Amino acid sequence: MKIICSKDNLLLGVNTVQRAVATKNTMPILQGIRLRTEGSSLWFEATDLEIGIRCNIPMEVQEEGEVVLPAKLFSEFVRKLPDTDIILESIDNNVNIHYNKSNFVINGYDPEEFPEITEFTSADIIEIPATIFKKMIRQTIFACAVEETRPVFTGILVHVEKENISLVSTDSHRLAHSKAMISDNDKEFKGIIPSKTMQELLRLLDDNEILTVQYNSSKIIFKFGSCQILTRLIDGQFPSYKQVIPQSCNTKLLLNCKNFLDTVERASLLSKDNYLKINNVRFNIEDSILNVNQYSEMGKISEQIEIEQEGENVAISFNAKYVIDVLKIIDTENIIMEASGPYSPCVFRPENEEDYLYLLLPLRN
């Protein structure tokens, strides 16, 4: 293999795929990035066997070939290259990188050992505007579970019913549900996508692109621009989320999002329980006033927020982090909060926006 390219093109390819490189796998080959020529472009590929990312970048290809280079060394070296023409020339499994009047040799791996990030043929294809899908991911990904004791909670359920698409996530303490309309679609799909894959889509997707989704019973591939992301679907039964969403409430509040967020963040500074590891904050809602009174060995805070209230007064406690998480992704000026007592699930919705809700279980003090 022999190619001529710029530092920026090399860096673009490396940055696109490097988060799919295995960091804890015992197979050395998975700690590498495969470079493979095809026509007048160079494919960059990386996989940890759970997710695979590929992208092709236009290059001047003088000799075709492929090589697998250790990702950490290769990426760090590319970042330190000068802004000049770069020549990559492979000899066996190694690459000689020429720049100005200098050269740097990286010892690579046998490309025959690199797992194929294979595409699959399927007539089932869905097209989604990237701007819609990115917003839906942003509204749900933070509610995924981190612990892998129940794998279905570590991903986002994607449910497509013809022109209706829903994304749902839960860690069993909270649930985020975003929905939208996509035009010209007659397909149906239901699968749980790993949160790592969704995070990469959020990072790499450009708002102006159209995301093409191709799937079968166990895998899904996302194609956009010059990139492809292939991942497995998480096996398991996602909870029946529609059944846990309350259809009525006893207390309905309208709050200014920024004021509410600022208050909760200030109160949370004093509310960390070092033993239980819970950032507890308690709201007392009474006569159109939301009171936050927080104290600890570090100090105390007392704040009041004027709100619009319908229904009963209520005192209710939450994990402050879970409240802050949703307030940070709400785009509207105001948020609606619906409660049905101190221990019943509480629902947060953006004002005048029916396509999103966030369900949060209160803490039992």
pLDDT of residue 278: 61
Q: What is the mean pLDDT of residues 342-355?
A: 95
pTM over 0.85: yes
- Contact in structure between 4 and 62 (CB atoms under 8 Å): yes
The model's pLDDT over 149-182, given as tens digits with 9 standing for 90+, comes to 899 999 999 999 999 999 999 999 999 999 999 9
- CATH fold of the domain at 125-242: DNA Polymerase III; Chain A, domain 2 (3.10.150)
Is the Cα dihedral 201, 207, 208, 211 positive or negative?
Answer: positive
Q: What is the pLDDT of residue 275?
A: 45
Q: What does the pLDDT read at residue 272? A: 64
CA atoms within 13 A on the CB side of 235: 3
Render pLDDT for 88-126 as a digit per residue (tens, 0 to 9). 999 989 999 999 999 999 999 999 999 988 777 777 899
What is the pLDDT, as a whole number, of residue 285? 97
**Res 17 pLDDT > 50:** yes
Same fold flag, 2-113 and 245-360: yes
Q: How far is CA 354 from CA 90, 107, 240, 350, 351, in A?
A: 56, 55, 20, 8, 8
Coil, strand, or helix at residue 206? coil
Q: Which fold has domain 245-360?
A: DNA Polymerase III; Chain A, domain 2 (3.10.150)
Strand partners for 44: 35, 55
Q: What is the pLDDT of residue 102?
A: 96
User: Quick check: 214 pLDDT over 90?
Assistant: yes
Predicted confidence at residue 217, as pLDDT, reads 86
Check pLDDT > 50 for residue 276. no
Superfamily of domain 2-113: DNA Polymerase III, subunit A, domain 2 (3.10.150.10)
Mean pLDDT of 51-61: 95
Per-domain boundaries in the chain: 2-113, 125-242, 245-360
C-alpha–C-alpha distance, residues 61 and 3, integer Å: 5
User: Is the pLDDT higher at 365 or at 182?
Assistant: 182
Helix (H) or strand (E) holding 215: strand 210-215
Q: What mean pLDDT value characterizes the chain? A: 93
Predicted pLDDT of residue 280: 87
Looking at residue 122, its pLDDT comes to 74
Q: What is the pLDDT of residue 124?
A: 85
Q: Which residues have C-beta within 8 Å of that of residue 349, sequence separation ≥ 6?
A: 335, 336, 338, 356, 357, 358
Are the C-beta atoms of 77 and 97 separated by less than 8 Å? yes
Q: Residue 277 has what pLDDT? A: 52
Strand 356-360: give its sheet, edge to edge: 188-194, 155-161, 164-170, 174-181, 356-360, 346-350, 334-339, 251-256, 308-311
> Residue 65 to residues 58, 93, 95, 243, 336: CA-CA distances in angstroms?
15, 10, 11, 55, 58
| pLDDT at position 264 over 90 | yes
Least confident stretch, 58-67, 159-168, 279-288, 293-302: 293-302
Q: Is the pLDDT of residue 346 over 50?
A: yes
